[in-house]
Structures are given as C-alpha cells and as structure tokens.
Structure 1
C-alpha cells in the first residue's frame, strides 16, 4: 500500500487556475493522495468548481471558511482534517511535477526526515513552460544538503513548499498563523525547524510556482512585504524561547529582516512614483534602503534563467 499524502489547497477567487492545480495533485504517481480544498469565501465560482470535481473523485474533500480569513486560516482547516502521514501545501495557481511527492517521500523515508524541501520552477500566469528556477544553485543538480532553522531563514527558503511529516506537526501543535496574510509559510516552517524537525533540501525543481500579477504578493507589494516583516518579528521574538543557539539564528533573522525592509522601501518608492503624488513621500531612510536593495537585489533574490 502506498503512503498517503494530504495535499492542501487554500483557494480564493481561483476559478481560472484551480483545475490545473487539482489535476497535478491527483495525477501524482508512486503515492496515494487525498486532496483537501478550502474555499476562503471566494466571490467567483471557485467553490462550485471544487465541489463538482469532488463529486467525480472521492479523493477530493472540499471545505469553506465561515468568512474570508486568508490562506493561513484556510489551510489550518485542512490540517485538522488531514488523514495522510504527510502533508504538502499546493497554492491554487501552482502545480506539481508528476513524480514530485513520490520523490520527496523517498528522500524523507530513506533519510528519516520530518521535512523535505525541493527547488522550484518559475512560470508566468497562463503558461506552462518555466522561465526560471529558484534555489537550484544551493548545491549540484539532484544533490542534497541538510537544512537547519538558521539555514532556512538565511537562505530565504520561506517561499518553498516542504513535504511535512504529519505526526511531527501535530505533536508540536503548530499551525499557520491566521493573522498573517503573507509570510505565514516562512513562520510555520521555521517554527517546525526550531522545534527540532530534521530537514533535507534536494535540488530537483519539482514544483511550478506561478508569478501572477493578481496574487497578494504581486498585487500589493507594500502590504505583502509589511506582513512578511511582521512574520519575521514574530519569529525573532520566539527564538529566545527555544534551546537553539539564539545568536546564530537571531543573526539570520536579522539579515532576512534587512533584506525584507530594503524590498519594502523599494516598493514604497515604486508606489509613490506610480501614484498621483498623493501618497506620502518616503523618508530618507527609505532612500538608503532603496539603494541597498537595488545594489544587492540580484544576489539576494537570485533566480536561474532557463
């Protein structure tokens, strides 16, 4: 009998992309899947699409939040209902490669890991051909490396989608923070590592991430980066409560906060330039952070063109 993986999709106004995401999850080879779709009170026909597909395939279960609460709260509903030994999060506008889950499972089971992370492809909305990749330079292709909490934060791996052992997640009573609308992934995955989760990174881009202009992180960069900065503050505040060496991890968090604040400054300047100058003029400190962002952006957000 194959290992059961619970694939979690939080969906909000995702009617155009959800069918592709669902198909990629259901077509996973080498493992069994259950698909938990949580509609976050969409205003389009996302719920209808999910419900109709669930009627055709009993591996799909559909839930709905009482009101629009954001991706963290929506995913938490699915985490409570998950029956699989492993959990994998899939965004509603992204997709899996056909052997993704089986590949990550093989690594997890062979190395006895609680989490496995892969690199990923970047694609544009409506296109299936990848335009680039992220984290493929961390080690040789198909090679692996262990990842600590410090590594995870300093390398900026918060945008990845780890495969997570369900029993570890539940035994430490960890969930997505529903109050955070961007960076909730970074916070939860970092907390898992701080709690002692063993983790391996494998350099195989098996996840296709869509760079969509309509996503929260793209639609309102100031808002999403501000939320990410708050997530890092919460993470920093929690470090002192662990048995890990706080100095090393705090330094990594401090670096990631600097990177995020620089990007936030750049977003504020772009917003001011694009506005009819009714927005407040960013401060001189923002100007310094903007310059630093421009100078180091390629290094900090390295992507590999295909």
Structure 2
C-alpha cells in the first residue's frame, strides 16, 4: 500500500457504549486504515471505555474526549485537525464497515471524493453480508446530487446525503472545506454541496461496504426545530452567493423549499405543544406564507397514519438489508 492510500477513519460518538466497539473493530480490520480517531462528544456513559476495549494494540486508535457536547461537526473537524492520513473516512458510531470496503473504493482512479453503497438494516448484533454488486463507477455532479436528496413521500429514506465518502485531505485543505459547526442536521449534505461547487470529482460505486443500523426513534425525528432552521439558512446562503450553476440552482431551490416547509410545520407544532391551539393559530396567522406548508404537512401526516393503520403487515425484506443505491437494477 502506498502512502497516499492510507485512510483515517473518524468516529464522532455520543452515548454509543453499545455500538462503538463494533464500529472501531470494523475500521481497524481494514488494512488501508492507518488511523482511527474516536471523539467522545460529551457522553455520560462508558463510550470511551468501550472504544478502548476494541483496540487491537497496533497503535492506530486515538480516543479524544470533549467534556461538553459540541455536536458531530465540531467532533469531526477536531479529528481532521489532529489526524495525518491523506484520506479521510467518516463512520457513525452505531454503524460499521463490511470487510474489503477500502480495497474496492481505492481501486478506482481519479477522484477527490468516492462513496460506495450503503446497506440499511434493523438493529441487530449480527448482520448478513451484502450482495456482491459490481462497482459500476460513475461521476456524481452537483445537480444530480441535490436531486438525490429531495424526499419523495411514500418512498424509503435514501437521500444521497447519507453517503459516507472517502475524502482527500488535500482537496479539503485546498478549498478550506470543513463541517459547519452550527449545523447538527444536513451537515454532510452541505459540505458535499460546497465541495462539488469547488470542483470536486465525486465518484460513486455500487459495491456495498458500509452498514447503517436503523434504530427506532433515530434519524431526523430527533432533530430540533432550530436544526432545520440552520440547514435552511445554510442552503439559502449558498444560493445567495450566486455561484451555483444554472442547471443545479433550480434543484437547490426545490430542496431549500422542502426544508423550509418542514421547518414551518415543525415550528407550528412546537407552538401548539408549548402554548396550545391558540398559540399555534397565532403563529400561522402571523406567517401566512407558511400556511400551505403547515396545512399540507398536517394533512399528509394524517393520511400516512391512516394508511399505516390499514396496511397489512409486510414480510421482512430478504436478509434484512435495504440498499441506498439501486445496484443491479
């Protein structure tokens, strides 16, 4: 393995005592990994001890603790700052790598970012191996990336912002790219957008090397209203800069509108929960432009709940895996 192929795996962790060990072991098992940097982001459980117990004594594991929670962006930026390897890979603390992930990715030439397929699964102690999809590398441009993050109601969650690319440190440094630390939702999406605007060659392969565990009550349902507001403002700032190519600008405006609608609905529901129906009505009256998003969101939620009650139980998917990219189809 040549020096330029060495990888630093960054894991930001908060109260991940039950899962951090598997994440660390899966990273250390990859021969291309030269460093694993775990940042314990203000945990109040035994996350640090569980990460340390997964060490393989090769001196590649570095564990850092934040006394107070600062968020995944700050944790990742700190890990980037203290690490050295020329390639950077992000791993969430409750996820893991399948064996051979980096070998397949690094076999592809000419990229600044490269991402592979993700297998989503329900929480379990053991996970089946993913299908052996051929790589079929393709270049991802800004317009297609943004369109791949626009949610479709009734479709499984599968936004391209979930991708976990390997990133070249040299490209990040050359364009002063780091995660925005005021964001706790969509920080990956926002970074990738700025990288693509800076000319990043973003390659995607269909081979699956990343296992993502889907847990009840996780994902965006736990994000705060102000997290949606921060994502909305960040995207509006990118559009306002005026350097988004015309073919991508309309897609970004669509995505921005969708985020704004989600924020308006969440804000309305916050007012109702905190102050009752009168407070919610006052908010809606004072923000007439938000009324379509509020009314439409409430109606869709009620329809979805009704459909869920009427829907017969579905059999579990084969092997419990669902793939982000439609490989082989």
State the TM-score bracket (shorter-chain normalisation): 0.7 to 0.9
In the alignment, structure 1 residue 162 sits paired with structure 2 residue 165: yes
Match of 2:13 in 1: 11
Match of 2:182 in 1: 179
- For residues 214 and 131 of structure 1, what CA distance do their matches in structure 2 show? 25
CA-based RMSD: 3.5
Match of 2:195, SS state, is helix
In the alignment, structure 1 residue 153 sits paired with structure 2 residue 146: yes
Match of 2:194 in 1: 191
Pair 60,91 (structure 1): closer, same or farther in 2 beyond 3 Å: same
- For residues 143 and 228 of structure 2, what CA distance do their matches in structure 1 show? 17
Question: Structure 1 residue 216: deviation in Å?
Answer: 5.7
Match of 2:34, SS state, is strand
Question: Structure 1 residue 249: deviation in Å?
Answer: 2.6
Match of 2:295 in 1: 287
Match of 2:89, SS state, is strand
1:193-236 per-position Cα deviation (integer Å, ceiling 9, x unaligned): 11111111112222111112354634x25x27x52453243133
Structure 1 residue runs of 5 or longer lacking an equivalent are: 134-139, 297-301
Match of 2:200, SS state, is coil
- For residues 324 and 49 of structure 2, what CA distance do their matches in structure 1 show? 37
Question: Structure 1 residue 128: deviation in Å?
Answer: 3.9
Pair 55,199 (structure 1): closer, same or farther in 2 beyond 3 Å: closer
User: Is the CA contact (8 Å cut-off) linking 1:121 and 1:130 kept in structure 2?
Assistant: no
1:49-88 per-position Cα deviation (integer Å, ceiling 9, x unaligned): 2234448341101112242101110111101112111100
Match of 1:234, SS state, is helix
Partner residue of 1:200 out of 200, 203, 223 = 203
Question: Structure 1 residue 278: deviation in Å?
Answer: 4.7
Deviates more, 1:192-201 or 1:280-289: 280-289
- For residues 12 and 262 of structure 2, what CA distance do their matches in structure 1 show? 26
Match of 2:238 in 1: 238
Structure 2 residue runs of 5 or longer lacking an equivalent are: 150-159, 285-290, 305-322
Give the alignment of 1:266-277 within 5 angstroms.
none
Deviates more, 1:147-156 or 1:77-86: 147-156
Give the alignment of 1:1-306 within 5 angstroms.
1-2=1-2, 3-29=5-31, 31-54=32-55, 56-107=57-108, 110=109, 112-129=110-127, 142-156=135-149, 157-213=160-216, 215=218, 217-218=220-221, 220-221=222-223, 223=224, 227-228=227-228, 230-241=230-241, 243-245=243-245, 247-261=246-260, 278=276, 281=280, 284-285=291-292, 286-291=294-299
TM-score w.r.t. the length of structure 2 is 0.75
1:233-274 per-position Cα deviation (integer Å, ceiling 9, x unaligned): 3133124436442x333211222233334555776799899x
